[in-house]
Structure 1
Amino acid sequence: MQIKKLMAGISLAGLLLLGGCSNNKKADNDSDVKHVGVLQVVQHPSLDKAYKGFKKGLKEEGYVEGKNLKIDYQNAQNNQDNLKSMSEKLVNEKSDLMLGIATPAAQSLANASQDIPIVVTAVTDLKAAKLVKSDAKPGKNVTGTTDMVSIERQIKLLLSIVPKAKTVGIMYNAGESNSKIQADLATAVLKKAGVKVLIKTANSTNDVQQVTETLASKVDGIFVPTDNTFDSAADVVGKVVKEKKVPLVASSVDQVKTGGLASIGIDYELLGEQTGKMAAKILAGKAKPADMPVEKAHDMKLVVNKKMAKALGIDPKSIKAPK
C-alpha cells in the first residue's frame, strides 16, 4: 500500500511539474503577443474603414490577429460615458498600444493614459485637440494620422459646379471640434469669394433631416466637413439634397458615395492603413509617439457620385478637380 501511495505521489508531482512547464510555455508565448486596444467613437462607413485599414497595415508589417496580435475593439456609439469607461478598460488591461478613431475617442484615450503609446486616425487637427504639442514633434505619448483635407480646394470644387452661387450652406455638429475647424475655414474661403454663408448645426442624427431640409431650401450649394453625425446619416442627407436639387460637396468620400455629389477627399481605409504601419513601428520598438510626426493622407482624389449628378441634371464628366 505504501509503495502504491509513493508511486501515486511521484505521478502527481510529475503531472504538476509538466503542468507548470506548460503554463510557463504559455506565458512565454503570451509575452510575444501584442495587445492593442481600439476605441471608435461611433459606427459609420468612414470610421469602420479606418479600423479595417489599421488592421491591414499591422498585418502587412507582420502583426496578425490570432498569431502575435490581440485586439480589444470598443465602440462607444457616440456616448460620452461609454468613451470614458471604455478608455479606462483598455488602460486597465495594460494594452501595449491603443488606437483612437476620431477626435472624441482619441481625446478620451489621451486623458486616460499619459504612458501607454497611442496612435489616432480620422482626427482633423491633433494640435487643436490638444493631443500633440505640434504635428512635427508630438512630444507626448500620442501621434497618428490627420484627415484634414484642403478646404479651399473643396470650396473651389463646389463653386466650379455652381459658379453663380450667391449663398452656400454649411452644416455640421457644433459639438465636434474637428468639424467646427473645417466649417470656419470654409466660411473664410467663401466670404473671400464674395459668397454669402448660411450655417446650420445638428446635435445628433435625429436633427439631420430637419437641418438639411431647412438649409437646402435656402442655398445654391452645400458643404459638409468630415463630421461623424452627418456621416452617420449620409443616406438621409442624400435623399433631401436630391429632392431639393442642391449640389453637396463633402470632405468625406463615403459621405459622397452615399448622399453627396463630389469631393476631393480621403480614402479612410488607406488612412487607417498608414496608421497601422505607424503603430507597427511603435510595437516593434523602432519608434516612439513623441518623436513620430503626424502624417497626412498620402493620396487625395476626386470622387463623383454619378447617379447623384444625373439626378441633379449635371454631367458627371463636367466636374473637374480644381488646382
Structure 2
Amino acid sequence: MRRREFIRGVAAVSAAWPVAARAQQAAQPLIGFLSTRSPEEATIHMNAFRRGLEQTGYIEGRNVAIEYRWAKGNYNQLGLLLADLGSRPLSVIVATGDPAAQAAKAAGLGVPLVFVVGQDPVRAGLVASMNRPGMATGVNFFTGDLGGKRLELLCTMVPSARVLGLLLNPTFGKEAFDEFRRSVVSAAQSLGRQSVVQSATTDAEVEAGFAALIKAGAAALVVQNDPFFDSRRSQIIALSSQHRLPGIFHIREFPADGGLMSYGASLADTYRQVGVYTGKILRGTKSVDLPVLRPTRFELVINMRTAKALSLAVPQSILIEADEIIE
C-alpha cells in the first residue's frame, strides 16, 4: 500500500471513531431508578444493587447508564419524579419501596418494572401472581408481617416495659399502616402489654412523636418498616438515645448505627437480587419469567454497646437467638 493511501485510511478511521463511540454510548441501556429513600443513607444498598448488576455483566458507566430519582421520604414527589423519568428512553425501571412501586405501576411507562416492596405484591395489585408476575417483578421483602415477632423480641429484651410505643407513617399506605398497627397491637395485648400509637410524616412530627410517647409512659419502641423512617435513621437513633427509649427496627443498619436491635431480612442482599433481576431483563429475560422472590432467612441483630448504655441486661435467650452481636 502506498504511504499516501495508508495515511488517508488512518485519517478516515480516526474521523469515524468519535461517531462510532457516540453511537455505542447512545446504545447503552438506561435504567430508571426511583427510590422513596435518600441517597446518603442508602449507600450500602446501592452498592449491593450495583454488585447484582455486575453479576450479570453490567457495570454502571461502562455498558449501562442509570438515572436516579430520590423522593427522600416525601411520597408526594413520586409523581413528578416519574414524569421526569418517563420522558427518557428507559429500558427498565427499578422502584424501591411500596409507594414508589405503586406509583411506577400506575404510571404505565411501558417498560419492565423491578421492585422492592414490603407488602404482598399480589394483594397490592403489583403482579398477577408470584410465579408468573407479568410486566413487574422483584423482591417481596416480607418485613411488614414481622411486626408482632419484633414486639415479642423487644418485650424479651425489656421485660419491665408495660407500655410499648408504636411509631407509624400513615402516608406509607392505609392497608400497610392498618396491617402493621393491627399485628403489633394484637401481639402487645397477647403479652399483657399496653400499646400507644403515634403517627409521624415529617421530621418535626418524628421529634414530637417521641415526646408524646414518653409522656404516655412508653418504655420501649417499635418502628414501622417504612422508607421514610429509613431516611430519618440518624434522627430516630439520636432521639432513642436522648429519651433512653429502647427500640427494635426492621433492618440491621439501625443497630449498626447505634440503635438497640433489629429483626428482618438483609436489605442489602435484597438490593443485590434486584440488581441481578434488572441485569437479566436487560439481557433479554422477560419479567413474566422471573418469579417474585422472598427472603428465606431473617436476622436478629443486637448492639451491645447500646444495651449497656440503656442499662439493659441482655437475656441469654436473646444472645442465643442473635445472628449478629455488635460489640
- Please state which band the TM-score falls in when normalised by the shorter chain: 0.7 to 0.9
Residue 61 (1) aligns with residue 59 (2) = no
Q: How does 1:3-82 map to 2 (within 5 A)?
A: 23=19, 26-27=22-23, 30-31=26-27, 33-43=28-38, 47-80=42-75, 82=77
- Tell me which residue corresponds to 2:82: 87
Residue number among 198, 206, 210 corresponding to 2:208 in the alignment: 210
Q: Which residue pairs with 1:314 in the alignment?
A: 312
For residues 142 and 154 of structure 1, what CA distance do their matches in structure 2 show? 30
Contact 1:167–1:195, Cα closer than 8 Å, also in 2: yes
CA distance in 2, matches of 1:220, 1:317: 17
Kindly provide the CA deviation profile for residues 147-182 of structure 1, in whole angstroms up to 9, marking residues without a partner as x.
223333312211211234332111111111245533
Aligned to 1:95, the other structure's residue is in SS state coil
Pick from 131, 139, 143: which aligns with 1:145?
A: 139
Task: Give the superposition deviation at 1:199.
Answer: 0.5
Return the offset for 1:123. Answer: 3.7
Q: State which drifts further: 161-170 or 274-283.
A: 161-170
Other structure's SS at 1:246 match: coil
- Please, which runs of 5 or more residues in structure 1 have no aligned partner? 1-10
Rounded Cα–Cα distance in structure 2 between residues aligned with 1:191 and 1:151: 13
Using the alignment, how far apart are the partners of 1:54 and 1:146 within structure 2?
15
Q: Contact 2:168 / 2:200 at 8 angstroms: preserved in 1?
A: yes
SS in 2 for 1:72: strand
Q: Secondary structure at the match of 2:129?
A: coil
CA distance in 2, matches of 1:214, 1:272: 35
Normalised by the length of structure 2, the TM-score is: 0.82
Q: Quick check: 1:175 aligned with 2:171?
A: yes
Which deviations, in whole Å up to 9, do the C-alpha atoms of 1:17-59 show, x marking residues without a partner? Answer: 986786367435643x221111112306664433221111001
For residues 174-193 of structure 1, what are the alpha-carbon distances to aligned partners after superposition, in whole Å with 9 as ceiling and x for unaligned? 11124553333222222233
Residues 238 and 117 from structure 1, CA distance in 2 versus in 1: closer, same or farther, beyond 3 angstroms? same
* Secondary structure class of the residue paired with 2:186: helix
Q: Is contact 1:205–1:232 with CA below 8 Å preserved after alignment? A: no
Q: Any residues of structure 2 matched to 1:1-323 within 5 Å, and which?
A: 23=19, 26-27=22-23, 30-31=26-27, 33-43=28-38, 47-80=42-75, 82-113=77-108, 115-139=110-134, 141-149=135-143, 150-177=146-173, 178-217=176-215, 218-286=217-285, 288-316=286-314, 318=316, 319-320=318-319, 321=321
Q: CA RMSD in A?
A: 2.9
Structure 1's 81 and 238: CA in aligned 2 closer, same or farther, altered over 3 A? Answer: closer
CA contact (8 A) 2:302 2:322 kept: no
Contact 2:72–2:228, Cα closer than 8 Å, also in 1: no
My pick for the range that moved more, 253-262 or 89-98, is 253-262
Q: Which has the greater radius of gyration?
A: 1
Q: 1:65 to 1:235 in 2, by over 3 A?
A: closer
Q: Hey, what's the Cα distance between the residues in 1 that align with 2:273 and 2:243?
A: 38
Query: Which segment drifts farther, 301-310 or 105-114?
Result: 105-114
How far does residue 302 in structure 1 lie from its aligned partner after superposition? 1.5
User: CA 1:172/1:70 → structure 2, altered by over 3 Å: closer, same or farther?
Assistant: same
Q: Contact conserved, 1:47 with 1:101, CA < 8 A, in 2?
A: no
Distance 1:220 1:129, change over 3 A: same
1:131–1:106: structure 2 CA closer, same or farther, 3 Å change rule? same
TM-score by length of 1: 0.83
Conservation of the 8 A alpha-carbon contact between 2:75 and 2:171: no
**Can you give the 5+ residue segments of structure 2 that lack an aligned partner in the other structure?**
1-7
Q: How far, CA to CA, are the matches of 2:40 and 2:251 in structure 1? A: 10
In the alignment, the residues of structure 1 paired with residue 230 and residue 311 of structure 2 have an alpha-carbon distance, to the nearest angstrom, of 24
2:3 matched to which residue of 1? none
What is the number of equivalent residue pairs in this alignment? 308
Letter matched to residue 272 of structure 2 = E
Evaluate the alpha carbon distance shift between residue 222 and residue 27 of structure 1 in structure 2; reply closer, same or farther with a 3 A threshold. same
Q: Secondary structure at the match of 2:84?
A: helix
1:294 is paired with a residue of what secondary structure? coil
Pair 18,311 (structure 1): closer, same or farther in 2 beyond 3 Å:
closer
Q: 1:311 to 1:70 in 2, by over 3 A?
A: same
* C-alpha contact 2:301 2:322 (8 A) present in aligned 1: no
Q: Secondary structure at the match of 1:295?
A: coil
